[in-house]
Amino acid sequence: MITGELKSKVDRVWDAFWSGGISNPLEVIEQITYLLFLRRLDDLQTIAEKKARITGEIEDPVFLPDQHHLRWSRFANRDPVEMHALVSDEVFPYLRGLGQQVGGDDSTYSVHMKDARFTIPTPALLSRVVDMLGDIPMEDRDTNGDLYEYLLSKIASAGTNGQFRTPRHIINLMVAMMAPTP
């Protein structure tokens, strides 16, 4: 169950997207998911590095030595403009290509991530969202499930809150098809 404090943090992230120009609830959830996934990949790499201090080598590294700048812990502290360029130009292409490294072109991961797209429009919004997501405690294994359950509940209420809008070109098409007369 999501707590009041966690719920408040998620609501602030949601509001940041809304005020930053992303009002489609599915797109908000998609971008949050990608960013939390990147954070989790960094956490897994950190765990592997700690284990490697004992064993001597990292088994199945998520990030190769020349890819460490793509890690959440590295890009989260960059200047917003630099972070936005890095995430857009390098991190998301890395996500799309990771599936081929993991399981080949036909792997489940590869199929689902091949169309991963970064749609956060401004460096300021990305920086703000990364900071806020960084403050969400993800150590408890149930937090992820609770978080997504809460995000899905936002989709269920989105239509009743007026958050779905019909783009102008669709409205024009519907009017043209109906050809209303006085």
- The kind and range of the H/E element at 105 are none
Residue that the structure tokens 């592997």 belong to? 48
Residue 137 half-sphere exposure toward CB, CA atoms < 13 A: 7
Range of the structural domain that residue 111 is part of: 4-178
Q: What is the per-residue pLDDT for 106?
A: 64
Q: What is the per-residue pLDDT for 158?
A: 55
Buried b (16+ CB within 10 A) or exposed e, 30-64: bbbebbbebbebbbebeebeeeeeeeeebeeebbe
Written as six digits, the tokens of 69 are 């700048």
| The total number of structural domains that make up the chain | 1
Q: What is the pLDDT along the chain (182 residues), one digit of tens a residue?
A: 577 888 899 899 999 999 999 988 889 999 999 999 999 999 999 999 999 988 888 888 889 999 999 999 999 999 999 999 999 999 999 988 876 665 556 667 777 787 889 999 999 999 999 999 999 888 776 777 788 888 888 776 655 544 455 667 777 888 888 888 88
In order, the DSSP letters of 38-86 are HHHHHHHHHHHHHHHHHHSS-SS-SS-GGGGGGSHHHHTTS-HHHHHHH
CATH number for the domain spanning 57: value is: 1.20.1260.30
Which pTM value belongs to this model? 0.79
